[in-house]
Structure 1
Amino acid sequence: MREEAVEAALGKIGLDDKARLLGGQDMWSLPALPEIGLRSLVMSDGPVGVRGVRWSADDPSVALPSPTALAATWDPRLARRAGRLLAQEARRKDVHVLLAPTVNLHRSPLGGRHFECYSEDPHLTGEIGSGYVNGVQDGGVGTTVKHFVANDAETDRFTVDNVITSRPLRELYLAPFEAIVKNAHPWGIMAAYNRVNGVTMTEHRYLQNEVLRGEWGFDGFIVSDWMAARSTAGDIAGGLDVAMPGPVTVYGEALAGAVRAGEVDESVVDDAVRNVLRLAARVGALDGAPPVVTAPPEPLDGQALAREVARRAFVLVRNEARDGQPVLPLASARLRKLALLGAAARDARVLGGGSATVFPERVVAPLDGLAAALPDAVLTYAVGADPSEELGPAGTGFTLGAVCRDAAGDVIGTRSLPGGQVQWIGGDLPDGVTHDALHSVEVRGTFVPRESGEHAFGTRGLGAFTLTVAGEVLYDGVQPLSDAADPFEAFFGAPAERGRIRLTAGEPVEVSLVHTLDRRDDVPLPAVMFSFLHGAPRRDPDELIAEAVEAARGADAAVVVVATTERVESEGFDREDLRLPGRQDDLVRAVAAANPNTVVVVNAGSPVEMPWREDVAAVLLGWFPGQEGGAALADVLLGAEEPGGRLPTTWPAALADAPVTEVVPTDGELHYREGLFVGYRAWDRAGTAPAYAFGHGLGYTTWEYESLEVTPAAAKVRVRNTGARTGREVVQVYLAPQADTVERPARWLAGFASVEAGPGECAETEIALPARAFEIWDEEAGAWSFVPGVYEVRASRSLADPRLTATLELQPAPDAPQASPGA
């Protein structure tokens, strides 16, 4: 019935409306066609929350932990629950399609957007991504799995040509997409900016039409990444259904004109429109077509789920014994004084930077979470070290609003501003305001400092600014267009300090930032984007560290929270190194020297160097933990819950040890010369040891692996909880070929499962071994080929910690294609 409704609607649409339907009408939506009962389809960024059509903190969203955190749970069922929560949020905001999940791989630790991807391993990525997509679509909301394909770094991402031979392309980079199409049937795929082997992805007929739609049977719609579509005939022929954003796109009038000129066959346009109408039918936006989901799942508590995902994602990589007992969990009943240190402990970074940003209604920082969980007077706090040397958007202590004026200076609209960012894109403007009439925006209100001293103020954005604090004009000038290579960074501009003024804690002052719009003609869509920035008084770094050391010296334990910043991990650029910014390494060393019970919490979305890791008692990786991260941290540190995470990516001791680091193209090309050997596959080949292996993670109990039984289809593993408390174990199964006639990694993840058991109890799990785990892509044959032989099957706690092994000998099937020699 749904397909019949799609065909009936298609038959009623003329060429001009067909072409118009395939291009965005604005930043986030496609046009409605009321005459056929089609409502406007609305899309929204993810993947940790649903921002909706307004990029503003006055339209809050639940903020879940980062995708690296979700992958660290190694739990597709939890990912599915997270997806259902996001569908619930999407429905609340009238969103039909979530622009997520991101399933590109952690090819190099320098990738600036790794926090938004899941893992270095394609199987783990595919399993977590499938859970996420199933969950979102359980709620009747579409997904767009992205970025198809090989968008594994940010440098020159709009133009880079990623040169990849067919085996790694199939076995690594396409593999998560293929698994998700098979296991979750996503309703959408997003085409990436980059080229692959010379062809721009939005025009890649082979990968989009022959592989994705043909081989895999994908029947959803393909949407461009924003501003990725550049060729009318090339994109439609290459399989791109929708070009975003609008209203100016390569489709619409240009596409209708190409059909009339004989450059494009109208049947190709019909195929694209059919895919869009099928999406509309699935989400309930097409009259006469029953939606896939008529009754959404039971509502979920967003705060509770965000807290659960965070604590299940924390990876305890080190937990040394002191006085015969591991330092963690901290015995809260015996804690007389706990020192909490680090700027990120007070002002937590809960998500990564860029288009994935959402604005939660509340953020529980580590200081908030521990203060709520501990008796009064137990917790002491000191800044110790601040990771950021740049100003951030005005936040704590500010009460702000926006006043819009026309060229005559008359007020034409107002809007509240929970923070100092103004991001109005397309039609997202205050009531009564139009882009044509809008001449200037004033951010104004009051600021109550929490510290006395010299406060810094600044701006981010393009155009003219007048900045006034406490009646003093700190800046009156123009910020010109940035020369940043990445359009995303150029569009937002860079933070700039404009002046300083001494203020007194607790005494309110009036603040104002007047921004006169930059009326350039080359922007792809109308937008008002700028920020009012603030920085607290700077103190001597040595003095701050000394204060932290003094607090740690008198405490039973010290918890140091270290973090990256938005200038380290964000969309639009790759990292240059893995060092923690600022004096944070010095802080950790100094505190560890003063207190043997030093615990370090790493607030970063991807690996950082930890040169002090052997000098501290415990290291807990917290990722970007979402809005409830501080509450989850208190749960784990104090033992109410155990840290449930395992590493989804190898954690190097130093960047110099990492086997794959190249992310900068040469003459426009980035050659994936490492082939099949990325992540732990590359570490194995190099023969070097990382700081912490893929899959590593400690809990608060111990496990014995008692038995392993294997067949070609599955591994059955029985484990026993030999500790004193209930715990969860992630059983990982790796395959290691014992002799090879073809080049393959030394071992690879074939399956995994989580089990839970009380003290002394056993748990048994059967982990499927997919047929693909025993196959390779034969480049000569252009097909998947089974590789017979002897395989060692390893039931492991991590890649580096196998507990049980069994041998599996697989004979060639009479009719199965065999790998070509040297494939």
Structure 2
Amino acid sequence: MNPASPTGGAGDRSGTEADSAGRADDPRRTDDTGRAEEDGCADDAGRAARIAAVEAALAELNLPGTADLLGGTDMWSVGPAGRCGRLVFSDGPAGVRGEDWTPEDPSLALPSPTAIGATWDIAAAHRAGLLLAQEARRKGAHVVLAPTVNLHRTPYGGRHFEAYSEDPELTGVLGAALVAGLQEGGVGATPKHYVANDAETDRYTVDVRVDGRTLRELYLAPFERIVRTARPWALMAAYNSVNGVTMSEHDVLNNDVLRTEWGFDGVLVSDWTGARSTVGCARGGLDLAMPGPHTVYGEHLVAAVREGKVAPETVETFARRVLLLAARVGVLEGAPRAVPASGLPTPLDGRAAVRDLAARSFVLLRNENDALPLEPAREAPAQTPPPSGPAARPVRRIAVSGLHASALRFGGGGSAQVFPERVDAPLDALRDALPADAELSYEPGPDPRSRLAAATPADGFRLEAVLHGLDDAELVRTHQRDGSVRWMGSLPGGASFADLGRVELVGTFTPVRGGTHRLAVRGVGHFRLEAGGRVLYDAELQPDSEDPAAAFLNPPQRVFLLDAEEGAEMPVRLLHSVSSPGVGGLFGLVSFELGYGAPAVPDDELIERAGRAAAEADAAVVFVGTTDESESEGVDRETLALPGRQDDLVVRVARANPRTVVVVNAGAPVLMPWRQDVAAVLLCWFPGEAGGAALADVLLGTAEPGGRLPTTWPGAEDDLPVRQVVPDSDGQLPYTEGPLIGYRAWCRHTDAPPAYWFGHGLGYTTWLYETLHVTVCEPGTRRDGDPYAPVAEVTVRVRNSGSRHGREVVQLYLGPEGPDRRLAAFAVVEAAAGSSAQARLTVPLRAVQSWDDTMLTWRTHPGPHLFAAGRSAADIRLTAELSLPVEG
């Protein structure tokens, strides 16, 4: 062992300790070979019984029966077939929706993956996995399509919110923890989208061009760590191509790298409708083509085998993997589950866990004069002018503004969308948490949405959905919670898509106030809108994109004006014809929406109202954020600016009140041109259904904002080092930046630093970094061939120098200052005011390796290596330099 320390020793070992890779709460359980145990358990007898059951089931299937196992039976399931029962999949990056895409079947909504990434907390990610497993079991799902471990290559990526980070180390470690939590809960995990699906534009057809080193060190790295250390039971192939070959057919990356090199023994499933060629997918190692019943497998695969284009052994191999997945989750006859009912984790309180995860993810970007937390005044109010002194004094009057305060965006759009039973609005949560004598005003400000939201009962609508058959007879009538109709895979009341001719939204509209109202139709296909005895629309709406998913994820909208008096009830009817194939035939879904907008008030007046209210308050809290148009699956972002006139709202309020706190409700970076002119900036991401309550906890100081940035936030769009998401005229998207994305790319542009660096976050206390101690692990102590075996153990001692208990994320980087420095390990510690804590960090072998494109192998570098510990990629507090006695 070879210790080194710039302070002369390891230092005091008193206080709290944390270890980024070896803590008792670390979910990565490994056997004596360094690999995660098969099935997440050490039950050798159970493993043997599962293998035997798989072989017995396979022996009873003929070729057509075997081939049927390799394509979906319907939208979300495979089977039953022979001894294999029905195997159900569900979307799940931020909650488990189940088989029904409807608010009538609510789900627990977790914070978005970027929020989980912002915790930098292995235990928190593991707990999120346990929550997903618990929800999946409740919903009857056996496999969850999560986590998303693509990288934040550029903030223009529209699905940025659904992935963890710009850094492969942070992404891989947290992704492995979530997979472990899911599978410890007896539910299969499906890391996705393998690989280089880092943007949405032309995602079905784009050909990502990337060199071997960049592919290995960045985009494959999270998948490799997860496969080697957490052993997922499934993995999803991306839509896109990589270097000329679509991922569902990529022999090299699927068969050679994923299976042979990494040892993946799970099911490789296509992204939904991502399988395009029977022979290509079979030769490319794709086990399962989804959704069904019409796929490139099934009868097409049988024909390919009989024509000699696909070997029968290939089909058997694929079926064996699907049957093993069925065995692991408990739907294969005669096979014990990988996790028996007696071994399932203790159930979690979902709402409480989501609330805690959200608070841990919030990132305090700025906090001048201790503007936060807001301490409510406990004495009678003094007759004083608006605050102008120290910002930290207690407050009695709080002025809240911004639409997101009353309509929090709890999650992102697309396949990550779930429908919670209720969502905590920050405004309501603050009112409930403040003392009875506190004064809280609210001004919504301008509406930042370019599209009207779904009509709700609060707007005066009472709606039912009526399904009619092809013969126009009524099939089903069901209550609607709002004007959004979305059914995927199944219909209410057991109705069949094959029998469905049209769907109507019918009911009444009773205006809350008089004036010119706005009604909207959103969807694809033919619609007829009637209100108050008038026909407002009767025509066809065409999709704006060739992406099939965009037709239901981001369909077009048309708006119509309707004059109506307050309280005057009128009939409303929106008819949608669905008998033509279109999107319904492709996906088995119905998706459209009746939107509503109240009589408009000029934006300038709304902004002025917010400013006047702020001027009369002790503190002002402005909520801003993105909308479902600007962050959603199926479309990339065109700008990072906040939509609408939210910037104007912030500027006006900040001018009126020096203690202005801005809460940013966004899943990805946004521009904040006013950031230096406000007292505090708090980033809450998409915080899940309990986000409002968590925000009240953090704003009032009951909880600390525990997050750190998982991706770098720019100050200006022109400064972004990586911007391209649109393929060139040949359909190619070249990753010309190579391995330099995120903070490593920003390090190259020292003349234009970002607004906030990767890893940045303040909390409610301060920390002193006291000692850094490095102990080198000799090569002989490491397991052969394990890229995550330790090369060094690092201990960092920090002290809470503030006045309250706090949480710190200790970050360890390797390399000299500049673009070659990269994250090697991290740990979360906590300590009371004045107390110390020790973070133990394990540096894996892979952190001192690089990919050699010439030799097609990993090369290990002995150093000397600079070990740099700090609070962000740009805030390094301690360093030590030494060489490592490594082999290779």
Per the normalisation by structure 1, the TM-score is 0.95
Q: Distance in 1 between matches of 2:225 and 2:209?
A: 23
Q: Distance in 2 between matches of 1:448 and 1:764?
A: 62
1:446 and 1:131, CA in 2 relative to 1: closer, same or farther beyond 3 A? farther
Q: Distance in 1 between matches of 2:301 and 2:240?
A: 22
2:872 corresponds in structure 1 to 798
Of 87, 103, 111, which aligns to 1:41?
Answer: 87
2:448 corresponds in structure 1 to 387
Aligned partner of 2:774: which letter? V
Q: Distance in 1 between matches of 2:423 and 2:511?
A: 20
2:763 corresponds in structure 1 to 699
* Between 402-411 and 116-125, the greater mean CA deviation after superposition: 402-411
Of 793, 798, 808, which aligns to 1:719?
Answer: 798
2:132 corresponds in structure 1 to 86
1:446 and 1:86, CA in 2 relative to 1: closer, same or farther beyond 3 A? farther
The alpha-carbon deviation at position 395 of structure 1 amounts to 2.8
The alpha-carbon deviation at position 493 of structure 1 amounts to 5.9
The alpha-carbon deviation at position 762 of structure 1 amounts to 1.1
Aligned partner of 2:879: which letter? T
Q: Does 1:763 align with 2:837?
A: yes
Q: Distance in 1 between matches of 2:138 and 2:330?
A: 15
1:448 and 1:305, CA in 2 relative to 1: closer, same or farther beyond 3 A? farther
Q: Does 1:649 align with 2:711?
A: yes
| Structure 2 residue runs without a partner (length 5+) | 1-48, 378-393, 777-791
**Is the 1:481–1:493 Cα contact (8 Å) retained in structure 2?**
no
* Between 791-800 and 266-275, the greater mean CA deviation after superposition: 791-800
The alpha-carbon deviation at position 264 of structure 1 amounts to 0.3
1:506 and 1:131, CA in 2 relative to 1: closer, same or farther beyond 3 A? farther
The superposition leaves residues 233-261 of structure 1 with CA deviations (integer Å, 9 ceiling, x where unpaired) of 11011010000111110000000110011
Identity %: 56
The superposition leaves residues 146-187 of structure 1 with CA deviations (integer Å, 9 ceiling, x where unpaired) of 000000011111001100000010000000000111221111
**Is the 2:502–2:579 Cα contact (8 Å) retained in structure 1?**
no
**Is the 1:246–1:525 Cα contact (8 Å) retained in structure 2?**
no
The alpha-carbon deviation at position 14 of structure 1 amounts to 0.5
Aligned partner of 2:403: which letter? A
The alpha-carbon deviation at position 452 of structure 1 amounts to 4.4
Of 414, 435, 460, which aligns to 1:375?
Answer: 435
The alpha-carbon deviation at position 684 of structure 1 amounts to 0.8
1:563 and 1:474, CA in 2 relative to 1: closer, same or farther beyond 3 A? farther
2:686 corresponds in structure 1 to 624
**Is the 1:599–1:619 Cα contact (8 Å) retained in structure 2?**
yes
2:319 corresponds in structure 1 to 273
**Is the 1:412–1:432 Cα contact (8 Å) retained in structure 2?**
no
**Is the 1:474–1:500 Cα contact (8 Å) retained in structure 2?**
no
Alignment of 1:554-569 (within 5 A): 554-569=616-631
Aligned partner of 1:405: which letter? H
**Is the 2:544–2:555 Cα contact (8 Å) retained in structure 1?**
no
Aligned partner of 1:319: which letter? N
Of 535, 539, 553, which aligns to 1:478?
Answer: 539
Aligned length: 801
Secondary structure at 1:43 match in 2: strand
Of 255, 260, 263, which aligns to 1:214?
Answer: 260
The alpha-carbon deviation at position 480 of structure 1 amounts to 3.7
**Is the 1:463–1:518 Cα contact (8 Å) retained in structure 2?**
no
Q: Distance in 2 between matches of 1:451 and 1:76?
A: 50
* Between 48-57 and 459-468, the greater mean CA deviation after superposition: 459-468
The alpha-carbon deviation at position 413 of structure 1 amounts to 1.0
1:708 and 1:451, CA in 2 relative to 1: closer, same or farther beyond 3 A? farther
Aligned partner of 1:411: which letter? E
2:815 corresponds in structure 1 to 736
Aligned partner of 2:59: which letter? G
Of 591, 604, 609, which aligns to 1:547?
Answer: 609
Q: Distance in 1 between matches of 2:401 and 2:150?
A: 35
Alignment of 1:375-774 (within 5 A): 375-376=435-436, 378-397=439-458, 398-426=461-489, 428-469=490-531, 471-491=532-552, 494-503=555-564, 509-520=570-581, 523-666=585-728, 667-687=730-750, 688-712=752-776, 713-737=792-816, 745-774=819-848
**Is the 2:524–2:551 Cα contact (8 Å) retained in structure 1?**
no
The alpha-carbon deviation at position 451 of structure 1 amounts to 4.8
Q: Distance in 1 between matches of 2:356 and 2:806?
A: 15
* Between 370-379 and 775-784, the greater mean CA deviation after superposition: 370-379
Secondary structure at 2:864 match in 1: strand
The superposition leaves residues 187-237 of structure 1 with CA deviations (integer Å, 9 ceiling, x where unpaired) of 110000000000100000110111001110011000000111000011011
1:741 corresponds in structure 2 to none
The alpha-carbon deviation at position 445 of structure 1 amounts to 2.9
1:440 and 1:697, CA in 2 relative to 1: closer, same or farther beyond 3 A? same
The superposition leaves residues 702-739 of structure 1 with CA deviations (integer Å, 9 ceiling, x where unpaired) of 1111111012311101111111111111000011148x
* Between 205-214 and 436-445, the greater mean CA deviation after superposition: 436-445
1:303 corresponds in structure 2 to 351
Aligned partner of 1:564: which letter? T
Q: Does 1:131 align with 2:165?
A: no
Aligned partner of 2:309: which letter? E
Aligned partner of 1:89: which letter? E
* Between 705-714 and 416-425, the greater mean CA deviation after superposition: 416-425
**Is the 1:391–1:495 Cα contact (8 Å) retained in structure 2?**
no
Secondary structure at 1:305 match in 2: helix
The superposition leaves residues 314-340 of structure 1 with CA deviations (integer Å, 9 ceiling, x where unpaired) of 10000001xxxx100011233221011
Q: Does 1:316 align with 2:364?
A: yes
Aligned partner of 1:206: which letter? V
1:717 and 1:437, CA in 2 relative to 1: closer, same or farther beyond 3 A? same
Q: Distance in 2 between matches of 1:521 and 1:581?
A: 32
**Is the 1:48–1:67 Cα contact (8 Å) retained in structure 2?**
yes
**Is the 2:121–2:827 Cα contact (8 Å) retained in structure 1?**
yes
Q: Distance in 2 between matches of 1:97 and 1:752?
A: 30
Q: Distance in 2 between matches of 1:308 and 1:395?
A: 30
The alpha-carbon deviation at position 41 of structure 1 amounts to 0.5
Aligned partner of 1:517: which letter? V
* Between 372-381 and 133-142, the greater mean CA deviation after superposition: 372-381
1:821 corresponds in structure 2 to none
Secondary structure at 2:77 match in 1: coil
Secondary structure at 2:352 match in 1: helix
The alpha-carbon deviation at position 500 of structure 1 amounts to 2.1
Q: Distance in 2 between matches of 1:784 and 1:503?
A: 70
The alpha-carbon deviation at position 507 of structure 1 amounts to 6.1
* Between 395-404 and 621-630, the greater mean CA deviation after superposition: 395-404
Q: Does 1:336 align with 2:396?
A: yes
Aligned partner of 1:678: which letter? I
Q: Distance in 2 between matches of 1:17 and 1:393?
A: 44
**Is the 1:402–1:416 Cα contact (8 Å) retained in structure 2?**
yes
1:783 and 1:493, CA in 2 relative to 1: closer, same or farther beyond 3 A? closer
The alpha-carbon deviation at position 506 of structure 1 amounts to 6.1
**Is the 1:460–1:492 Cα contact (8 Å) retained in structure 2?**
no
1:408 and 1:780, CA in 2 relative to 1: closer, same or farther beyond 3 A? closer
Cα root mean square deviation, aligned: 1.6
Q: Distance in 2 between matches of 1:490 and 1:629?
A: 30
1:452 and 1:137, CA in 2 relative to 1: closer, same or farther beyond 3 A? farther
Secondary structure at 1:636 match in 2: helix
The alpha-carbon deviation at position 444 of structure 1 amounts to 2.1
* Between 728-737 and 541-550, the greater mean CA deviation after superposition: 728-737
1:780 and 1:361, CA in 2 relative to 1: closer, same or farther beyond 3 A? same
